[in-house]
Structure 1
């Protein structure tokens, strides 16, 4: 009798234990956290700084982001460096895709931005509505800053051509402060220069700086930024989830708030 009683108790305990495990649901392995490397143009810095904590908290993944100019990043990628996610200009990504460094069919447009003139918030806006008025405003300013063309910053390379086209390159040299990347807006906000030239998104993202507007007429330059998955990515699914956040409703709202035109 005692043995039968103990057997019944053991069976009952086992049944209770099984019921408890079933209530918890099937045992599944925890999702593996992934560390994604992102190589991005500095133009997307404000957007990614806001989206990174959103992505990391929702996915459990970790982002390591390398920012630089498009020309510098492209040079590094062509030399063999890679990343899970690459954010550059559309033409640069397409070229890297043909070279096998960006996964085929993974490129998606993110947003566009234009080369803009920026000044300190609250300062009178100069009239840059025509090429002649832009020329006059540039000659009248005491100091100006833009990305060093020698370092490959897209806006700096372009603006150097603009002032050359306007015939004022020599007059501008003595009052020009060249910066390595997107720091022109910061110098404007601090009052260290009167005028800055950069992507509109870079200027708009700096507290204390304001965008005057794009360059006039055919001097205007718009760049389309795109995103792609590195061909050597070890976790393309995680990379795709970041791209979906960037190009989806959440990313679109952040892009707009940073002065960019979402794709």
Structure 2
């Protein structure tokens, strides 16, 4: 019991120190580039951080290609919390401070159906293959980092060409959910946290080594004039409070 109370006290004191640091930074308007799959998480994190710090967050969401474009030609920004794949683009990487990034959250791929629909078998790679081949249509975002991993899984299963005609390309994570919930697509094949939404029932994660985790990582813009505030946001995203929200929304802190 004493050890439990010590851990609780340490966590509480740690958060208090973080919030003290936040309030000691002059309030600023922070421009953030963020992966669209984390939008529901930001809906909770944003007001909590703004209240604790006095900073205001202006967040622009996008898929990986959109984030690369925003980083390179979308005007000034202060930091990004984006899929690691953004940093594989040399031009985009050059817009961030050189050095290690800070991993914030990760999530794997999965399959979902419309609420109330029967759940197909995806327990093994072959079962997933047969389920995908039997499906009339699927919804995903091929242009995103997660969507690219989905397409690679199709290729590994030997059904890449067969799935092209069945794929209902969506522009945003919210549209993936909407397409499945309305019955416009039989299956949603995307990030598990996105598929854990009203109107959908999650069938499960990709099986075995077909599973891939998309990691969202944070870094400062090399041109930010609000370095202290931007760093304070990254520090906040690593607090127990932020981690609890990330976990509750279906991602791994």
Using the size of structure 1 for normalisation, the TM-score is 0.78
Instruction: Give the CA deviation at 1:108.
Output: 0.8
Give me the whole-angstrom Cα distance separating, in 1, the residues matched to 2:93 and 2:50.
31
Q: Residue deviations 1:18-47, cap 9 Å, x none? A: xxxxxxxxxxxx975311100011121111
2:48 maps to 1:54: yes
Partner of residue 225 from structure 1, selected from 216, 220, 241: 216
2:95 maps to 1:101: yes
Query: What's 2:61 paired with?
Result: 67
2:241 maps to 1:250: yes
Partner of residue 188 from structure 1, selected from 160, 169, 180: 180
Q: Is the 8 A contact 1:93 1:227 kept in 2?
A: no
**SS of the residue aligned with 2:121?**
coil
- Cα 1:70–1:249 change in 2 (3 A) is same
Give me the whole-angstrom Cα distance separating, in 2, the residues matched to 1:169 and 1:109.
31
Structure 1 unpaired stretches of 5+: 1-29
Partner of residue 32 from structure 2, selected from 8, 21, 38: 38
- Cα 1:125–1:228 change in 2 (3 A) is same
Instruction: Give the CA deviation at 1:224.
Output: 1.6
Instruction: Give the CA deviation at 1:200.
Output: 1.1
Structure 2 unpaired stretches of 5+: 1-23
Give me the whole-angstrom Cα distance separating, in 2, the residues matched to 1:139 and 1:48.
35
Give me the whole-angstrom Cα distance separating, in 2, the residues matched to 1:99 and 1:172.
32
Instruction: Give the CA deviation at 1:52.
Output: 0.9
Give me the whole-angstrom Cα distance separating, in 1, the residues matched to 2:147 and 2:89.
22
Using the size of structure 2 for normalisation, the TM-score is 0.81
Q: Is the 8 A contact 2:35 2:62 kept in 1?
A: yes
Instruction: Give the CA deviation at 1:170.
Output: 3.9
Query: What's 1:4 paired with?
Result: none
Give me the whole-angstrom Cα distance separating, in 2, the residues matched to 1:133 and 1:234.
52
Query: What's 2:86 paired with?
Result: 92
2:129 maps to 1:135: yes
Instruction: Give the CA deviation at 1:98.
Output: 9.7
- Cα 1:172–1:92 change in 2 (3 A) is closer
**SS of the residue aligned with 1:172?**
helix
Give me the whole-angstrom Cα distance separating, in 1, the residues matched to 2:184 and 2:92.
43
Taking only aligned residues, the RMSD between alpha carbons, in angstroms, comes to 2.4
